[in-house]
Each structure stands twice: as C-alpha cells, then as structure tokens.
Structure 1
Amino acid sequence: MDFQQERMKQMIEHDRFLHASYMEAIETCGDESAALKLLFDTYVQNEPMMRNAYEHLTNH
C-alpha cells in the first residue's frame, strides 16, 4: 500500500480521531505533507480498520 496525500486528506475529513492527530502533528512538525505521512505510517499501516478505510472508503 502506497502513501497518497489526497487519500489521507479524505481520511481526516471523515475521522475525528485522525483529524485531531493531524492537527497535533501539524503543530509539532509544521509541515502538512510530513504530518499526513506520519499518520499514514502510524495508523493506516498498523491498524486494520484504518487500512480498510484507506483502501475502500477513499477509493474513487
């Protein structure tokens, strides 16, 4: 599974937890791309429900 910034943006629009985590990551690193990649690596790659949502809910 590859990181796609647009898919992660869709994920944070639909998931309050990811959105809150994204806002914290932005404050920490100050870079949108890095924050999205961090969330992808931390949550999507390691959590089956997040991985499923990333693969199916954001697939257009």
Structure 2
Amino acid sequence: MKEGDSEASYAHYALHKLKIRPGVLMGKSPLDTIDRKERAFIYASIDIHVENEKKAMNKSRKKR
C-alpha cells in the first residue's frame, strides 16, 4: 500500500457510509474541521465496523 492510501480509504468510506466529505475528514477544509481526537475516533469506528462486517460475512459463508 502506498503512503496515504489508507487515509484515502478511510476518507472514501467516510464519504459513502457516513456522508463526511474527504476534505473535512482529512483536515483540509478550513470551514468544517474535525480535530485530531475526533478523526481518530472516526477511524477506529470504521475499523470496528469493517471488522464486524467481515465476521458477519465469514459466519454466513460457513452456514452455506
């Protein structure tokens, strides 16, 4: 993975699932800002959500 790809992946997920614009999430929007702690919370929440989705998919595959 290239440098910055993971941040872009989080921004992509946040845009589509949470309706948070990438510039806002990445701190590049001067009008709407998310502080460092809030950004870390969003990233951690995304990680947990994605992990739970993977577990649910694996569980449904095993039932087949």
> Would the TM-score normalized by the shorter structure come out above 0.5?
no
Whose helix fraction is larger, Structure 1's or Structure 2's? 1
TM-score of the superposed pair, with normalisation by structure 2: 0.35
* Greater relative contact order, per chain length (Cα 8 Å cut-off, separation 6+): 1
